Structure 1
Amino acid sequence: MIINELENHIEHLDNKLQARFNEEDNQGLMESKLDLDIWLNRENTRLSHLAKKRWLKDGDNNSKFFHAYLNAKNQKWINVMNLADGTSLSTPFDIHQAAVDFFKNISGQNNTRSLPNLDDLISPVISDADNFNLCISPSLEDIKIALFSIPIDSSPGPDGFGSSFFRACWDLVHGDQV
């Protein structure tokens, strides 16, 4: 097959070039790689046409995977649910509601308990004044100082813009709300 011959020729030329470089072998290597690429594209096109031809002939009857997937998907549906008290549920809404209620009961969301007050056991680490300072919004000057402390060549944010963009456009973007 032509593709195997080209691959062997490329490997041979590559080994020759690693042992001793010359322009003629390098040119031959480039031409062989180009020829291989052309032949691989032709082979892919040929195989694609064969697959389309087979599908046109056999249609969905040929797709065992497709039918296996549909059968497995249809078997995953819960059509009837029997509860512990003997009640039988058959509508999707009733089944859904019964499942939600069951898991709420397990997680204890329906149970109300009074928990003991453990505030005496925890000593405050942050004073009320520090807590107030942490909760206030930063000023425009604080934001500018933080922005200008980021290196210009740092990675861009999720929006694709780096700190250099925001520095250069500070006069335009400083008033924008997040």
Structure 2
Amino acid sequence: MSTPGTPSTTRRAWLREHSELGVSLLLLLLGVLVLTDALTMDVAAGQRGPVGPATVPVVVGTGLLAVAVLLAVDVLRGGRGEAEGGEDVDLSEPGDWRTVLLLAGVFLGGAVLIGPAGFPVAGALIFWGSAYALGSRRPDRDPLIAAALSLATYLVFTHLLGVPLPGGPLTGVL
């Protein structure tokens, strides 16, 4: 067991006081990922004009890197994020892991089903499962709303926006 003043205790205390560096590291990694994808993007030779498909990802990736560096410098200089004044979270209560695991399972199930079952079915599962995980207990209403939302989303993206989503068995029907 570490006694106060030992290097292990001192290091833990320093990390606890500078925990925002984790957010900075996450932003840095995300920025590198976005820039790597943008700079290795296969751009067609027929691009017209100075702004191509890689422009926005390069700007976003550069912005993420800049924010990561600025946040790290601020934290190392002693800056700390302030707690929300209107936050009504009781930090003494344990986390609601049941809800977190239900939501994770619903999203994982939707990701697995979107290929074989299509977006309308997988989306309905995600909408209904999320409502259930977050506390709605209306079996007469929730599945109908979930199906309507999923179908409307599918139709808007596929027919109005021209973004093809997998239709699954409903591809020929819709």
TM-score (norm 2): 0.21
Greater RCO, CA 8 A, separation 6+: 2
Which has the greater radius of gyration?
1
